Amino acid sequence: MKYSVLVVAVAGAFAASRAARADVHVPFVEGKPLAEVLRRAKAENKPVMLDVVAAWCGPCKFMDKTTFADPAVVAWAKKNVISARVDAEKGEGRRISARYQAFSFPTVLFLDGNGNEIDRLVGGYGAADFQRGGEAVLAGRTQLLVALARLKADWNADAALQVANALAPRRDLARLRPIALRLVAEEGDLSRPEIFQLFAQLVAIETLDNDPSAETGDLIATFLPRLGNDPRRGFFGAALVTGLGKRGDVATARAVTAETLLAVGESSPSSSDLLAALGGAERKAGNGPEALAAFQRAAALAEKNGAAPGARVERQFDLAEALAANGKPAEAKKAYAAGIAVGPLDTQLAARAARVALALKDQAAALLHAREAVSLSNGEDASAQAALSAALRATGDRAGASAALKKAADLDPANSEYRVAAPEAPKKKAAKVS
């Protein structure tokens, strides 16, 4: 009897010990928008430690059970960082993984309060090695951070090229751009292939981030004519025209478009993008008929040159919006239908389809597309939420529109359009008491 009591007591103590150890773990924030995590990081004046994982990743699971359950690592993390975790293949995790080019798992990103990357640790780490790596990141002692500090103190072109080539695959525009621009400016004619390639990467990243800089545009304009009929001239020309459109210089945008098309021909894979960029510049300048003409040529060339399905959808949607704006609803509906018919829509194209449907005053279709975009992104894409907000507002659901726009602002706080709160639903008047 006494023996059985002892066995039960020991078993209970062992179970309690295991439960206590299970409670020791890095307190990762999960299921919250990154914007919310960044706000907390700013408030507490700490960097974010963002664990980017995948459900099938063995090293991720191993680190979760060992490294992130190590008491020393847990204590260090609680003291020094705001810990968060995302699945790179679900919801907002997909966008985060693409934004930081974090496609090897696990990748632990260290971010400042604005979401800019400090540095990263990639691959499986034991507890001691992980803590040393994290301490090196926060102290600025990693290879990348030391190299950046040296460049700031003593510029060296070859060292700068190495650093830039480390930043470009991460899409780290904030730190890449000033280094790449200085290298290109000092090179002058881009005669070194590695500098030319770096500049092309910078332009591509600015295009993907929809963040063209005037400095980049000025450098493109300087060397663009020297490319002659090099097919890459179309790519650089389209980027330059996009930037000129944002700056309101439509006259130069027209000239660059004409010169580039003359050099590379309409059969160039970039010709459709070039004309679409011109259409955007004309539209921003309020030139409706000119924008329509450019978008018509862009859509026709996308079809003729066999552009990728997503690009063909974009060009048809551009055309549909331009036709609607020019008072041609029947033709606009045909272009919209042609875009839908190309193939399945991803999150961004579904959100775009919702905006086009609104321009065509088809509120039901707009709401359908917007909900599709939200569903495809598991509710974690700002543009999808903004499209849903617009569609709900058009159908009279002002409260729903306000909630969706707030969600968009939470997901992308840097976008000023999302910070404009949608009108709340009107309050019901109190019944008059007689």
Q: Decide if 120 is inside a domain.
A: yes
Whether the CB-CB separation of 336 and 298 falls below 8 Å is answered with no
Residue 377's domain comprises 347-425
Residue 107: phi and psi, rounded to 5, are -120, 125
pLDDT tens for the chain, 434 residues long, are: 444 433 334 344 434 334 344 579 999 999 888 989 999 999 999 999 999 999 999 999 999 999 999 999 999 999 999 999 999 998 788 889 999 999 999 999 999 999 999 999 999 999 999 999 999 999 999 999 999 999 999 999 999 999 999 999 999 999 999 999 999 999 877 888 999 999 999 999 999 988 999 999 999 999 999 999 999 999 999 999 999 999 999 999 999 999 999 999 999 999 999 999 999 999 999 999 999 999 999 999 999 999 999 999 999 999 999 999 999 999 999 999 999 999 889 999 999 999 999 999 999 999 999 999 999 888 878 899 999 999 999 999 999 999 999 989 888 877 778 876 544 444 444 444 43
Residue 420: what pLDDT?
Answer: 60
Cβ neighbours for 145, distance < 8 A, ≥ 6 positions apart: 118, 119, 137
Q: Global pTM?
A: 0.82
Q: Is residue 67 part of a domain?
A: yes
List the beta bridge partners of residue 49. 83, 110
**Backbone angles phi and psi of 421, in degrees to 5:** -65, 135
Residue 374 lies in a domain: yes
Of 100, 121, 141, at which residue does a domain stop? 141
366 touches 394 (CB < 8 A): yes
Query: Does residue 177 belong to any structural domain of this protein?
Result: no
- Domain boundary at 87, 106, 141, which? 141
Take residue 225 and report the two structure tokens written for it: 């004519």
Position 155 in a domain: no
Q: At a CB cut-off of 8 Å and minimum separation 6, what does 312 contact?
A: 299, 302, 303, 339, 342
Domain total for the chain? 2
Domain contains 26? yes
For residue 92, the one-letter residue type is E
CATH number of the domain bearing residue 413: 1.25.40.10
**How many angstroms separate the CA atoms of 345 and 367, rounded?**
15
Q: Of 98, 114, 141, at which residue does a domain stop?
A: 141
Assign residue 125 the CATH number of its domain.
3.40.30.10
Q: Where are the beta strands (DSSP E) in 162-302?
A: none
Residue 280 lies in a domain: no
* Residue 34 resides in a domain: yes
Buried b (16+ CB within 10 A) or exposed e, 378-398: ebbbbbbbbbbbbbbbbeebb
How remote is the C-alpha of 367 from its chain's centroid? 24
